[in-house]
Amino acid sequence: MAIVWSLGYSVGVKEIDNQHKKLVKIIERLFKSINEMSTKKSLKKILNDLAEFAVYHFETEEKYFKKFKYAGSKSHIKEHERFKKKVSGLIKRFDEDKMELSFELIDYLENWLLHHLQYEDQKYVQCFSEHGLK
């Protein structure tokens, strides 16, 4: 399944929307690599890119949570931590069985990203907007 960016995922903040689009593209690269049965080295590179970029993106959101004293920050940050822990665990298991793990990862990423974009991130839209972040 391909994830296609939709305006419904937008949080109205150009910086964050661009980061979300990049996360979608990384997941698409991973999906394409799995379907093409790419080398383990290639898949590992994409997984590492995903993990690194997710941390960067979460730091961006959390910087604004702190700056604007976002009331929902604790639960949102817990979501970020769960994601990092899950992806880290999947990456550690990657060397055991490339294909099985790859499909498990894709399923997890698609479900997590779509839920996170459509529900979790939408919760801070009003706060960020009220502080003039665009």
Report the pLDDT value the prediction gives residue 56, as an integer from 0 to 100.
Answer: 96
pLDDT at 47 over 60: yes
CA distance 33 to 43: 7
Span 18-39, average pLDDT: 86
CA distance 109 to 83: 9
Question: pTM for the complete prediction?
Answer: 0.87
77: left (phi over 0), alpha (psi -120 to 50) or beta: alpha
- The percent of residues above 90 in pLDDT, for the chain, comes to 49
Report the pLDDT value the prediction gives residue 103, as an integer from 0 to 100.
Answer: 74
> Would you list the domain boundaries of the chain?
11-130
CA distance 61 to 80: 10
| CATH architecture group of domain 11-130 | Up-down Bundle (1.20)
User: pLDDT (tens digit, 9 = 90+) per residue, 49-100?
Assistant: 989 999 999 999 999 999 999 999 999 999 999 999 988 888 887 777 655 6
User: pLDDT (tens digit, 9 = 90+) per residue, 2-13?
Assistant: 678 888 899 999
How many H-runs (helices) and E-runs (strands) does the chain carry? 5, 0
**Token reading at 34:** 């799995």
- The percent of residues above 70 in pLDDT, for the chain, comes to 93
CA distance 43 to 29: 9
- Helix residue ranges per DSSP H, the chain: 14-35, 40-68, 73-93, 98-115, 125-130
| Beta carbons of 51 and 87 less than 8 angstroms apart | yes
